[in-house]
Structure 1
Amino acid sequence: MGMRGRGKALLAALLSAVLLSQHAAAGSATAPTHPKYELLHEDIIKEFGLKTALYMHIKSGAEVLSVVADDDNKLFGVGFRTPPENDAGAPHVFEHATLSGSTKYPLKDPFAEMLKSSLQTFLNALTYDDFTMYPVSSLNLKDFYNLMDVYLDAVLHPLAIKDPRRLQQEGWHYELEKASDPLTYQGVVMSEMKGKYSNPESALFPDTAYRFDSGGKPAVIPTLTFEYIQDFHKRYYHPANSRVFFYGNDSVMKRLDIVDEMSAAAPVAQLTLLKCRRVHVCSTTEHVVSVNWVLNFRTLSLKESLELSILENLLIGSSAAPLLKALTDSGLGTAPTGYGYVTWLRQSIFTIGLLGVKPSKADAVETLILDTLTTIAKTGFKAAAIKASINSVQFAYLSPPASGNYNRGFDLLQTVMIQWVHDRDPTLNLHLADAFSEITKEFTQGQSQAVFQQLVTKYFIKNTHRVTVDLKPETGAEEREAAKLAKIKAKMTPKQINDIVAQTKALKDWQTKPDSPAARATIPRLSLSDVNKKNPLIPKIVTQVRAVL
């Protein structure tokens, strides 16, 4: 379920959806008030026909972003800042464990049960580098409220903090079916994270939470304890640390009432965000060399961020882009790798490199990247390439996707949450028209060539906050794990071994035992009367572009 971001298509189809619905700009920005909230900010996103209002719940401190849109596909999402404090993967493990039953819905997997009768259009949970979020959407209003209630109870009152079997199942546990068998590790996240590549954040941010892997490293996950998970939930899964998002055409006052009820039922907790203090060692199954930069030490304006997206496209956006082409044609590795321009961290980074590099060629990869950028800073880009990249980025942000199941509320949630959890204005980056207009104006006036040369110089050539990461292949991980477990077992008493055998059987019996009828009955369900019998009208616009011979 973990997820680190979705690139540049976060706002795709917002404009076209408005055109298709022929929904006019949102009109008056006056947002409703609620006695339990302070209205912090309201905004009209004319580009997309949206009205937004940012509230703070007075008692708990929870922030709520309410987005009113002419869209039946209503979406709810709650996010929590969850900076990792080590490589044990608590954010990722707890994301899994959270969805394995709650006080009000005491099933082992309530969401699997919900899917049997729900009309949901999205249901998942996502772990990022420093926050976790839980989004759900539905076209049916009753179903939407049902799903929301299950999610809120899951994050605030999970059985995972009362029943260690959830941690054992989702995180890790010793497994031993017979006393004579070799001792092994088992667990959903433990298995999921084996073979994952390390990320450059640990080297770029050596004194912050980004030095740790929020997903967890298999060698460290077994240090995660039930007591730590309980404390993790207490410190981070609280309304004061939450960002609650609503999107669609449902009632704004109902939204606020729901969060008010959520906050009233939540336990009182003191929020403390900790910094991390130790460095981990990167390893991978393939030799990878990447060069990485931290790009900003202050919040970038929307225009600056879009310019960096355009610069990324110019550098690596196509097979003909000079930096990507230089890496591909170099013969130093098997294929280019790297996220490029990364915006989902508190500070943006840029990362690019090569897979399959021979050990003797590691320095040559770094030299190639830096020399290519130096040349670009001197010679610049052709006007046609700049125009194409501006159009490409603008199209990516504002055009409809090819898929017919696009969920614009979900993409909007990701866009605003990345800003919001880092204490930035969640809607500022939605005002795209003026920024693109200014960038286009600079191009028509012949200024773009110099602008992008200066950006290469500023962010890459003169930027000393750079690190080259050499991920050398690590072999024999399974053998080392088996040897480690063999030593652990050799030190166990016969009673301890028999206890693990009994625990293995008890956990498997619990996993395979069906939930009780009483537990299944707690899940809210839709009836036929709750389903709209009329097919929705899908609007269309017929336009003749030119005669076809």
Structure 2
Amino acid sequence: MKFPFKWLFVGSFFIVKSFDMYAVPANFEEQEVQEFGNDIVHTYKHSSGLLVRWIENNDPQTSFTLGVKTPTTDNTGVNHIIEHTVFTGSKNFPSSTLFFDANANYPHTYMNASTAGDMTLYPFATPYKDCYFGLLEVYLDSIFNPSMLEQPYSFYEEAFYYDPETNKYGGVVFNEMKGASSQIGRAIFRSIRDVIYEDTHYANDSGGAVEAIPTLSYEHFIDTYHNYYYPSNMQAVVYGDLEIDKVLNIFDEYVTPHTNDKNDVDVNVDPTLKYERIEKNYYTGGEGAYVIKSFVLPEIIDSSQLTELDLWLNTYVVNPLSPFRQYLNEKEIESVEIFKDSDLKRPVYSLIISQVNPYDVTYVEDCLNNAVNSLWETEELLQLEYDTLEQTRLSISQQDMSASRGIDISQMIITDWVHHRDEMSYYTTKDYLYHLEDIDEFYGQKFLQQADEVTLILTPAPNIQPNEFEPLEHCEIAQEDWSPVVNSMRAWQKQYSEKVLEPIELKKMIMNIDMPFTTYEIDKMKFTHFQSETDLLTTEIYLPTNHIAQKELPYLFLYAHCLQEVADDLTPFEGILKVKPTALEHKNDYMPYLKIELTSLADKNQINLLQKANDILMEKDDDWYTSQVDKVIGQFYGNFQNDIIGTLGVLTKGGQDGYKRYMYEAHYPFYIFCVSCKKQEIENFGDSVKEIASQIGGRNDVSVAVTCTDEIAEVSLNNWEEYLQQNLISDYDTHEYIFDKIDKDSVYYKKGQVDYLLYNYDSQKDYIKAIDYLASAYATKNYLHPEIRIKKGAYGSGMQALFPNTISVYTYRDPHYKSSEEIIENMSKALKETDIDEKMRLAKSEALCDFQSQFGILSSDMKKSSVLHALSIMDINSNYIKKTQKQIIKVKPNQLKKELKTLDDMIENSQKGICIRKD
């Protein structure tokens, strides 16, 4: 389980100004204006106490984020349940499916809500102005005037209920947390906070403990809402090219009636630090132990100090070439991660060694302590410091190009407000990093030596679940009294007021990827430049691999993994190199590729990075290759744990044809190959990988694409031409792969309390059609969501059309997959009885939104160019994107009815994947 290092590399600081440019409503006072490069941050204070910040710039990707301080006072998940339930209808929008109505009606690039240990966030982002104001009204009315205050049925739907007819337990959050409780990463996070913050609100589970959720009463639920949801306990941040006077007037309309004299809640508490060392069990399944050493910083430090510490840790602890990591490697301890929990009064950094044999815990703990003690005597490592700074500057540039920039900045501002820190740290940190020339080698020693240390040992529990309980024995409603409650809840779920969301004109939603590019060919190799005004250079290379014999494919897949691993450890740092085997569909066949992606600052020669990685790979010994086989096996298990639907998606490809069957070969059969290598059943596999490396190079159908400025493109493409010519494969034969098909269902077992189900259908068409996207959106909105998520209480269910030729139906965190199978198999018949004419418009809106998201139309230039590059290799004109959107709008009701009749055949001919909880 990897814990990503958490960086703050964003923004840019310049000067502070104070001036007015817009007419501010009477109840608002503009308190401050600060300029950070192209961003101008306006701070407004409403008479109710609500703080609103506007990040003004010319970015059309506008966003909204509202944060509420919500400390977690128990384990019932009450704040999490409120976050869900506010969107089940409001005063102006009384629909029990309001969130999903808004999701379908207003195209967006992000729409969500989330609950942390001390705050709840409500963000959305959209480039459409009409949609922005529509979503703004939905969010504000839901937050300030939720229908849940007037009736309890939405509370039962989202929290917990018992259905006497099926003898099953429901509740969306209840089932969500049953799934979450089986994730080891979450178990580690909760254990760290439980130990360091015992007897404080941070020791409670903000998502909700499965055994505690049924104990939550409606009265406590409502009281908690009133305790936290008032203007002076909130901050909102809006971002982008907005009519701010209109935005503030809408805020004023919703906020003014809720004005009171209450102060905001202070969530900040000191850690109790009762233990220096403690051992605990985890219950997610697995056999390995976790040795964790946490450092609780001694004081509240400012953003620049925290940044210096991050840089020091990344250099002297995280870097695989650091003496710290080298020492642990010598002791055969390679799985070391660092987890940063900075959303606290005293930030916590934890070193985590995973998958330790329980009999080796003492040995590993001693080695970790020795490695930490050696940090206090570390000499300055200038090359590693340089690498860290270069990686940091690349991260800054990548984040500035991100389509989620508005949400990222907004959430950082609100997080700092909650924790009484500099709310402009997003910007000041970037400025500090830009001007930093050296990393202080003593900085980490200074803070970590003063920190409080806590050692936590997590070991797998026996094959019993902790605190086994019967939910009905703990909830306030007796078993015999649930029938009228559930009947009333079902009646409420069917209600839909005549008040509907204002429809958006669908034609306004149609967008294309407007990205200029030029293409040319040399020796049957294609070179493309996608024009982008950026200080980055991004390169994609598709190297055909159908000249690799079928029996050698496992070595090709292992080569891709090993080249990636070598590149990650290269010094000096030149850029990021990603490698993966893939395949792209063509009209009549498919082509397998090795896809190489390189990202660097524009002044770097990326070929040096690729050549150096290959050279080092050739020098690796057998022990190193054996360690890589172990990593592949570990990553495979990790993906099984953390991406179950994705795993089922790949497993079901084993029963399909073409590129899908090839991608299956790179998954489970490759894993089996690695297990055989580990058992020494396959010899000299390292030498075979090196042989594969000599077979990768220039040949027919190679495609190279760069995304950068015109000036950089000319030099870069010339370099790649020369490199491929020098590494030309002139004499080769191509192979047709013949794989065995896996015709049975893919089933695997996982310790947990919920099920997962996936039907994967190969459309057998040239490519997915417009009507497939529409049918998927229609079936999700009008059948799968109400029948499986709402009635059964599963966390999610839907149907999705996936380019180029896959249609899938799924349900996840499902209390009982068998009943969902029956519902899905009855889908065609049930949808025949729906009023298609009335419901098509929302389905079209949602289909357009899904399509645009899938093709990255509103994403960064790097994502757009990647999509266009793949389409060009597949010989698909980029006009397909705009043409398909127009066709979605033009679909007639009778055409959709005809398509829905085919769903029976689709389900019957799908490959099925199931993940069943292990009892």
TM-score normalized with structure 2 length: 0.50
Superposed displacement of residue 472, structure 1: 3.3
Say which SS state the counterpart of residue 246 (structure 1) adopts. strand
Superposed displacement of residue 93, structure 1: 1.7
Q: Are the equivalent residues in 1 in contact too, given 2:300–2:345 (CA < 8 A)?
A: no
**1:413 matches 2:405:** no
Alignment of 1:271-420 (within 5 A): 271=263, 273=265, 283-285=282-284, 286=286, 287-300=289-302, 302-324=303-325, 330-331=331-332, 335-339=335-339, 341-400=340-399, 406-420=403-417
**1:121 matches 2:109:** yes
Superposed displacement of residue 479, structure 1: 8.4
Superposed displacement of residue 50, structure 1: 0.5
Aligned amino acid, residue 297 of structure 1: E
Aligned amino acid, residue 711 of structure 2: Q
- Partner Cα distance (1:43, 1:155) in 2: 29
- Partner Cα distance (2:221, 2:396) in 1: 39
Q: Are the equivalent residues in 2 in contact too, given 1:143–1:526 (CA < 8 A)?
A: yes
- Partner Cα distance (1:9, 1:385) in 2: 17
Say which SS state the counterpart of residue 149 (structure 1) adopts. helix
Q: Are the equivalent residues in 2 in contact too, given 1:29–1:51 (CA < 8 A)?
A: no
Deviations along 1:299-334, one digit per CA (max 9) or x if unpaired, are 31x3212212212322454443454555566456x9
Deviations along 1:372-400, one digit per CA (max 9) or x if unpaired, are 12212212352101110121123213335
Aligned amino acid, residue 107 of structure 2: L
- Partner Cα distance (1:432, 1:70) in 2: 22
Superposed displacement of residue 125, structure 1: 0.5
- Partner Cα distance (2:511, 2:171) in 1: 44
- Partner Cα distance (1:79, 1:152) in 2: 12
- Partner Cα distance (1:377, 1:28) in 2: 44
- Partner Cα distance (1:337, 1:533) in 2: 42
1:191 corresponds to: 175
1:500 to 473, 482, 488: 482
**1:72 matches 2:60:** yes
Aligned amino acid, residue 88 of structure 2: S
Say which SS state the counterpart of residue 320 (structure 1) adopts. coil
Q: 1:303 to 1:107 in 2, by over 3 A?
A: same
Q: Which protein is richer in strand relative to its size?
A: 2
Say which SS state the counterpart of residue 220 (structure 2) adopts. helix
Q: 1:104 to 1:323 in 2, by over 3 A?
A: farther
Q: Are the equivalent residues in 1 in contact too, given 2:162–2:170 (CA < 8 A)?
A: yes
Say which SS state the counterpart of residue 399 (structure 1) adopts. helix
Aligned amino acid, residue 165 of structure 1: Y
1:22 corresponds to: none
Q: 1:433 to 1:292 in 2, by over 3 A?
A: closer
Superposed displacement of residue 535, structure 1: 8.2
Q: 1:9 to 1:101 in 2, by over 3 A?
A: farther
Aligned amino acid, residue 460 of structure 2: P
**1:260 matches 2:252:** yes
- Partner Cα distance (2:4, 2:89) in 1: 28
1:523 corresponds to: 501
Q: 1:272 to 1:432 in 2, by over 3 A?
A: closer
1:473 to 432, 444, 460: 460
Superposed displacement of residue 205, structure 1: 2.6
- Partner Cα distance (1:426, 1:255) in 2: 22
1:21 corresponds to: none
Q: Are the equivalent residues in 2 in contact too, given 1:292–1:467 (CA < 8 A)?
A: yes
**1:94 matches 2:86:** no
2:421 corresponds to: 424
Aligned amino acid, residue 140 of structure 2: L
- Partner Cα distance (1:288, 1:535) in 2: 46
Q: Are the equivalent residues in 2 in contact too, given 1:345–1:418 (CA < 8 A)?
A: no
- Partner Cα distance (1:213, 1:195) in 2: 14
The higher-RCO structure (CA 8 Å, 6+ apart) is: 1
- Partner Cα distance (2:512, 2:472) in 1: 66
Say which SS state the counterpart of residue 460 (structure 2) adopts. coil
1:19 corresponds to: none
Deviations along 1:194-248, one digit per CA (max 9) or x if unpaired, are 3241241222233532122211221222222111110111011111100111101
2:137 corresponds to: 149
* Structure 2 alignment gaps of length 5 or more: 517-530, 534-708, 723-919
Q: Are the equivalent residues in 2 in contact too, given 1:11–1:408 (CA < 8 A)?
A: no
Superposed displacement of residue 126, structure 1: 1.5
Q: 1:144 to 1:9 in 2, by over 3 A?
A: farther
TM-score normalized with structure 1 length: 0.81
Aligned residues: 505
2:238 to 237, 243, 246: 246
- More off after superposition, 238-247 vs 500-509: 500-509
Q: Are the equivalent residues in 1 in contact too, given 2:140–2:254 (CA < 8 A)?
A: yes
Q: 1:535 to 1:363 in 2, by over 3 A?
A: closer
- More off after superposition, 521-530 vs 303-312: 521-530
Say which SS state the counterpart of residue 133 (structure 2) adopts. helix
Say which SS state the counterpart of residue 710 (structure 2) adopts. coil
Deviations along 1:334-392, one digit per CA (max 9) or x if unpaired, are 943552x3333333210121223344443444332232122122123521011101211
Deviations along 1:231-273, one digit per CA (max 9) or x if unpaired, are 1110111111001111011122223222222211326473574
Aligned amino acid, residue 456 of structure 2: V
Say which SS state the counterpart of residue 378 (structure 1) adopts. coil
**1:138 matches 2:122:** no
Superposed displacement of residue 505, structure 1: 5.0
- Partner Cα distance (2:266, 2:431) in 1: 38
Say which SS state the counterpart of residue 310 (structure 1) adopts. helix
Deviations along 1:392-428, one digit per CA (max 9) or x if unpaired, are 1232133358xx8722111111221221222333224
- Partner Cα distance (1:170, 1:415) in 2: 28
Superposed displacement of residue 480, structure 1: 5.3
Deviations along 1:428-479, one digit per CA (max 9) or x if unpaired, are 4403454125531xx2xxxx4xx22x2232222342x221222333355558
- More off after superposition, 223-232 vs 164-173: 164-173
Superposed displacement of residue 119, structure 1: 1.9
Superposed displacement of residue 64, structure 1: 0.9
Q: 1:207 to 1:498 in 2, by over 3 A?
A: closer
- Partner Cα distance (1:56, 1:27) in 2: 18
1:39 corresponds to: 30
Superposed displacement of residue 143, structure 1: 1.0
Q: Are the equivalent residues in 1 in contact too, given 2:417–2:423 (CA < 8 A)?
A: yes
Indicate the structure (1 or 2) with the bigger Cα radius of gyration.
2
* Structure 1 alignment gaps of length 5 or more: 16-24
1:543 to 706, 710, 727: 710
- Partner Cα distance (2:391, 2:502) in 1: 45
**1:460 matches 2:461:** no
Q: Are the equivalent residues in 2 in contact too, given 1:353–1:365 (CA < 8 A)?
A: no
Aligned amino acid, residue 488 of structure 1: E
- Partner Cα distance (2:329, 2:90) in 1: 50
Aligned-residue CA RMSD (Å): 3.6
Q: 1:362 to 1:248 in 2, by over 3 A?
A: same
2:869 corresponds to: none
Aligned amino acid, residue 115 of structure 2: T
Superposed displacement of residue 144, structure 1: 0.2
Q: 1:471 to 1:479 in 2, by over 3 A?
A: closer
Aligned amino acid, residue 304 of structure 2: K
